[in-house]
Structure 1
Amino acid sequence: MERETGHLVTLSFLRGGAGRTARAMAVSMTVLALAGCTGMNLFGPPKVREETIVPEATLYQEALNNMDRQRYLTAIEQLEKAERQHPRGELREETKLMLVYAHYRIGKFNEAILAADKYLALYPNGQDAAYVMYLKGTSYFGQIKDITRDQELSERAIEVYTALIRAHPGSEYADDAREKLAVANDQLAGKEMSVGRYYLGNGQYTASINRFRMVVENYQTSTHIEEALYRLTEAYLSLGLTGEARNAAAVLGHNYPSSEWYQRSYKLLADQGLSPAVNEGSWLTAQRS
């Protein structure tokens, strides 16, 4: 009976204040254990681990070394760290230049364009401004798709290359920019031709003329100029505007007498008893060189 009483006393003791204390202690220990496992700070906001400050020259040189080893992603991390830790450092201009280059080299063109904009905003007359403009233009150029796609990228490339040539005509990058500018212009002309041919094939002659005229007036150095003049001959004839058709063929023959497109234009007119003839009152006459 005493054992039973003792047992009952013990249970009563656990159910009483001491039991509650024990349970509270157990809960506290559990919370502390969880806090230790999860990194919780129960007495304030979590501590932010401070970034170790590395000398700017060290980060920059390490980035160059990694670029030499083709480790561009690592180099970008180091350059961004240099920017972050030394926003007014002596190598900040070089760091921003290398960020443009590193992004460009691994084909991260949008990032390269953004980095170029940041450089040019701070150093519009910097010693490497021409090179940065070239990388920016070429980042647009590298994303140009076929002529059936939207040509916004071609337009952006043309804009940047034109600005580069105007601002730095004697730059070593200007000549290459001129070559790429011609290709980008050809892309835009090709897009106009593609749409114009579509309209022409669907009998929308006025709409097609507007597209071909755009090529003749704005892209005279493109590879599409001869076909554009032939298509104008074809579209004008379809509308019964024989004077304009004859004039388009005459302009084509004047500028490209040995062109296959001129031979086709000549035959197209001849089949209707017509021949090329200049119309001094036509907008096309001014296109003769």
Structure 2
Amino acid sequence: MGDKSARGRGGGGGGSSVLLPLVLLGCCAIVPAGQARSINGLETPRGCNWRHEDDRSQQTLVCRLRSISGAASLVGNISTQQAENVFSLGFECSEGLFLDSQLEEGPGATVGPASYLGALPRLERLRLEHCKVRNLPGGAFASAPGLRKLTLRSHSADWSSAALDLHRDALRGLPELRELDLAENNVWSLPGEFLCPSPSLASLNLTRNRLQDVASLGLADWASACAQNLEVLDLSSNELSALPDNGLAGLRALTALRVQDNAIAAVGDHALAGLHNLRSLNLSSNRLVALPPELFAKSRELRELVLSNNSLAVLAPGLLDGLGN
């Protein structure tokens, strides 16, 4: 009886003093100190951590660097076992340092730029943030052919000389790419056939760049357009002054067009020609004083139209006829 009462008391007794150290030992001895920065029981490389992004259950391995030139050695420190668990990778360069980041290999190299990504066979999402990349060369990410989303944002709005130069074959080797985010890079235009290597592309984000002419995007001709499956195009916060006739006629699958926060003062009668599946159009915060009466004549699928913060005193009679939905 005395034995039982001693074990039942929480404050003293031999039973309690022996059990507590055993519990702590069992908890801590099997968890290495580095596991606080791990997933699936794998320790992360130095300077990296796992993070949830875009409300996805899948986590992203996020690594902070001075410039993207340090990415190769960092990825080289990832073991084969760790690499099998990297589906999403983010590089965040130092925000306060205006260091040029180069993706090209050194002289005489036989492998493509960013070839170190080949060590991550399951990589589907790649994000480069604040890395001051001035040139995106041909086949820049060809060593990661499974990429489905690519984000490259240098955040160079306050560094106007750091315009991103896009090689026409920059997307070579990315046939599975569905989302491309090139916002905030001081991009002035897209080279001809730039989007051709990625026929599955469904979303293109070019917001906060230096685009001045829709024609510079090369998306006018359906026969030669390389983005025939593009569904979402974001051109907001650029320097566009007009939406010309047939400027985006090659985008037959487009459902959402965002051109707010530009300087658009003129819209052609056939600016939406070819966009038969368009469901959402945002023209807010521009310099519009009028819209052509036939602008929406063939936009039967349009469900959302945003025209706020313009100078539209009166809409032409019949402009919205047929948009009953």
TM-score by length of 1: 0.32
Structure of greater Rg: 1
> Quick check: which one's strand share is greater?
2
> Quick check: which one's helix share is greater?
1
